[in-house]
């Protein structure tokens, strides 16, 4: 198209435009309006399909796909969890330790409960030995009869100052018991060897003379402590002290004692003596006793380094002995509170030992070893109890009453 010589002016352009009325008439025609509406819808649909999720929120309400009345509790909780953005203050990423020289021990889950078997609670049986060769075979026969699951029991022995075949007999019996196919072996066994320089004989006269009591009880306390420190592991819930010269005891003794839920518990200890065809039931352990007013007055007059021993004329304590109480025919669950205990058979919650309660090899409140242990446990707030009608049978040592 050719432009005029004078160029394009507003008047010339205006003269070429259709009249305003004609334009308005054209725009208001039905066909034109319909075309505009269809074009707008097509544009909106295209933007809805190709737009992002953020763009869609400008056209749709933000909310769950179901009405609240049709949502399950889990769906409501899941939806409500998105309503607020969580904020973490002072966040610390976990530290990963890969060094093989670092070990983590968690004692929070180690408990001593009345449901020991159900909870798979581990029991550590400890036995100190000195010149004990004649008793070892019978000792293992009784251990094998225990009904507490053997896979939850660990055995530990301390052999010290022996002049007989205690070590050899012990090793052979352990091999025999752990190799049996008719019974489940014990979880583990440990032998600790430690000499303390004890030269005292094992005869009744040498072991139970009054002058021998102080040194003897101190040495026995050291032996127990060495054994305990070497054998007690984090996984143990109970510690069962059991002497090698027990003649007979109930096979369920661990379960029976655990059911009492006591910090420290001991049975009564008697012995059988056969004379002229008669069975004489003798009372053996006079180290389990209750204090009396005369015994407390006596203790108040003693020097701190004096160790009391029961059944000797040198010190008349007048204590009440559990050995003289009870009857194996009576209620075996009957309990009494004790102030001193013997060491033939003791069940202890492992945390009592972990708290530092051991067997003093020095005078503690004028007692040592197991009697000192009882005094120390009570001083720390633990309960010490005995079962006067629950009898464990000791070998007959032909001793006089009181010299236990």
Residue 37: its pLDDT value, please?
Answer: 82
For 262-323, the DSSP string reads: -SEEEEEEEEEEEETTEEEEEE---S-EE--HHHHHHHHHS-TT----TTBTTB---PEEGG
Residue 404: its pLDDT value, please?
Answer: 39
Residue 51: its pLDDT value, please?
Answer: 57
8 A C-beta contact, residue 256 and residue 143: no
User: What would be the CATH architecture of the domain defined by 116-394?
Assistant: Alpha-Beta Complex (3.90)
Domain range annotation of the chain: 116-394
Q: Is 126 in a helix, a strand, or coil?
A: strand
CB count in 10 Å sphere of residue 311: 19
Residue 130: its pLDDT value, please?
Answer: 96
For 325-345, the DSSP string reads: S--TTS-TT--EE-SB--SSE
| CA–CA distance, 282 with 400 (Å, rounded to integer) | 10
* pTM beyond cutoff 0.95: no
Mean pLDDT by 10 residues, the chain (404 residues): 58 68 70 80 75 52 71 77 73 88 94 98 98 97 98 98 97 96 95 92 59 86 98 98 97 98 98 86 95 96 92 88 96 98 98 98 96 98 98 85 42
| CA–CA distance, 373 with 379 (Å, rounded to integer) | 10
8 A C-beta contact, residue 155 and residue 188: yes
Residue 94: its pLDDT value, please?
Answer: 86
Q: Is 346 in a helix, a strand, or coil?
A: strand
User: Helices 30-50 and 20-27 sit at what angle, rounded to 10 degrees?
Assistant: 60
- Considering only CA atoms, which of 160, 366, 337 is closest in space to residue 260? 337
Residue 276 corresponds to which tokens in the numbers above? 């002229």
- Considering only CA atoms, which of 117, 373, 402 is closest in space to residue 285? 402
Residue 322 corresponds to which tokens in the numbers above? 């559990």
């Amino acid at each position: 198209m050719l432009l005029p010589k004078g160029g394009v002016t507003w008047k010339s352009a205006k003269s070429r435009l259709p009249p305003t009325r004609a334009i308005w008439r054209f725009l208001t025609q039905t066909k034109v309006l319909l075309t505009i509406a269809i074009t707008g819808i097509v544009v909106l649909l295209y933007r809805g399909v190709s737009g992002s999720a953020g763009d869609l929120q400008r056209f749709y309400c933000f909310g769950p796909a179901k009405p609240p009345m049709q949502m399950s509790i889990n769906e409501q909780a899941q939806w409500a969890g998105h309503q607020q953005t969580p904020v973490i203050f002072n966040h610390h990423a976990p530290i990963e330790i890969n060094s093989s020289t670092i070990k983590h021990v968690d004692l929070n889950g180690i408990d001593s409960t009345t449901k020991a078997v159900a909870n798979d609670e581990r029991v550590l049986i400890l036995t100190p030995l000195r010149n004990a060769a004649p008793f070892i075979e019978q000792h293992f026969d009784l251990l094998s009869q225990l009904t507490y699951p053997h896979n939850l029991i660990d055995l530990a022995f301390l052999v010290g100052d022996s002049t007989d075949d205690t070590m050899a007999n012990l090793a052979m019996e352990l091999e025999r018991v752990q190799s049996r196919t008719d019974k489940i072996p014990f979880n583990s066994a440990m032998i600790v060897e430690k000499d303390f320089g004890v030269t005292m004989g094992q005869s009744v006269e040498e072991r139970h003379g009054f002058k021998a009591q102080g040194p003897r009880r101190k040495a026995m306390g050291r032996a127990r402590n060495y054994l305990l420190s070497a054998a007690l592991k984090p996984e143990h819930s109970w510690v069962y002290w059991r002497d090698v010269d027990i003649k007979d005891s109930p096979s369920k003794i661990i379960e029976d004692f655990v059911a009492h839920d006591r910090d420290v518990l001991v049975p009564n200890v008697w012995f059988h003596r056969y004379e002229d065809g008669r069975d004489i039931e003798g009372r053996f352990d006079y180290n389990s006793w209750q204090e009396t007013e005369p015994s407390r007055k006596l203790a108040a007059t003693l020097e701190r380094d004096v160790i009391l021993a029961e059944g000797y004329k040198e010190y008349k304590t007048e204590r009440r002995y559990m050995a003289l109480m009870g009857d194996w025919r009576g209620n075996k669950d009957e309990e009494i509170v004790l102030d001193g205990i013997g060491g033939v058979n003791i069940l202890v919650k492992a945390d009592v030992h972990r708290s530092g309660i051991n067997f003093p090899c020095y005078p503690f409140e004028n007692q040592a070893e197991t009697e000192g242990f009882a005094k120390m446990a009570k001083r720390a707030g633990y309960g010490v109890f005995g079962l006067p009608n629950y009898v464990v049978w000791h070998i007959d040592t032909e001793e006089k009453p009181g010299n236990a």
